[in-house]
Amino acid sequence: MSLSLEEVYKKVEALQFDLDDLRNNYKGLSQNYVQALSSLKELTLQSSEAAKRSAKSAEQSRIAASNAMKAAKDASENPMFLVVVESAVKASVSAAVAAIEAAAAAAAAAAALAVSQHAEESLLRASTEAATASRTAADSAAEAVKLSNQAREIGDTIRKGA
């Protein structure tokens, strides 16, 4: 099984060609990986920001529902203000719906972050922040719905008495 020197050179040349091909493939894969990781990082940071903004929106909607419920309660003392109470009830329902939408947006952003989790610390922190924002938004939405229901009950009580 002896090989001539020429055959050995041909095999070494073939191995060199295969090695060069592998290097080029690795460089291409490495560049694609770096680009994908960079895009993923950008998406993660944007999703985290979206979740935080959605949570703030849900909190503002909860405050609006609370104010609408208070207006309905204050106006309920005089049956002449039934129109005000009905408007306040509608406002509280709209605020609750807005809070639910904001909570859903925060949850979607947190889900996008969950998909992108990996070893990079800043992305894990962003993902945790988004999950916290999603919980805050959901809590605000639940409170807004509760306040909306209270405002509706006030309106129903006034309508029954009128």
pLDDT less than 70: residues of the chain: 1-3, 40, 44, 109-127, 162
- Give the pLDDT of residue 13: 87
Q: Which two tokens stand for residue 93?
A: 């329902």
Query: Which tokens is 159 given?
Result: 């309508």
Task: Name, in order, each residue with C-beta under 8 angstroms of 112's C-beta and a sequence gap of 6 or more.
Answer: 43, 44, 47
The string of pLDDT tens digits covering residues 32-67 is 777 777 776 777 677 777 777 777 777 887 888 788
Amino acid 121: pLDDT: 63
Q: Which amino acid is at 41?
A: K
pLDDT of residue 1: 54
**Other Cβ atoms within 10 Å of 12 Cβ, number:** 10
- Burial grade of 71 (CB within 10 A; 0-12, 13-18, 19 or more): buried
Helix (H, G, I), strand (E, B) or coil at 118: coil
pLDDT at 135: 75
pTM equals 0.58
Rounded-to-integer distance, Cα 99 and Cα 146, Å: 12
Angstrom distance (rounded) from CA 103 to CA 140: 8
pLDDT of residue 116: 58
Domain ranges of the chain: 45-161
Q: How many CA atoms lie within 13 A of 10 on its CB side?
A: 5
Spatial CA neighbour of 67 closest among 10, 129, 14, 143: 143
pLDDT, position 59: 80
Q: Which amino acid is at 38?
A: S
pLDDT the model gives residue 162: 62
Residue with tokens 């992305």: 123
Q: Please give the pLDDT value at position 105.
A: 73
Which residue intervals of 2-120 are DSSP H helices? 5-75, 82-116
